Copies of this chain bind each other. A is one copy, B any other.
């Protein structure tokens, strides 16, 4: 799963730490998700998408094999 979190953070001028705090997770979780190290829960995905006022599908996208 890829995502545009980094881009949206930039648009909103948020650091990973800021985003983590707003969403209620650790900074490392944001970093790991952002870098595609693991797939977040649907809850997290929805919260982040909502914060950026984007549909989940426009923030997270499946890759070929998924």
Contacts and interface: CB of A to CB of B under 8 A. Distances in A.
A56 B57 CA distance: 7
Nearest to A60: B42
A47 B62 CA distance: 9
A40 interface: yes
B39 A62 contact: no
Most chain B CB neighbours (cut-off 10 Å) among A41, A42, A46: A42
Contacts of A66: 43
Contacts of A40: 41-42
10 contacts: A39-B43, A41-B42, A42-B42, A42-B45, A43-B62, A46-B57, A46-B60, A49-B56, A55-B56, A56-B56
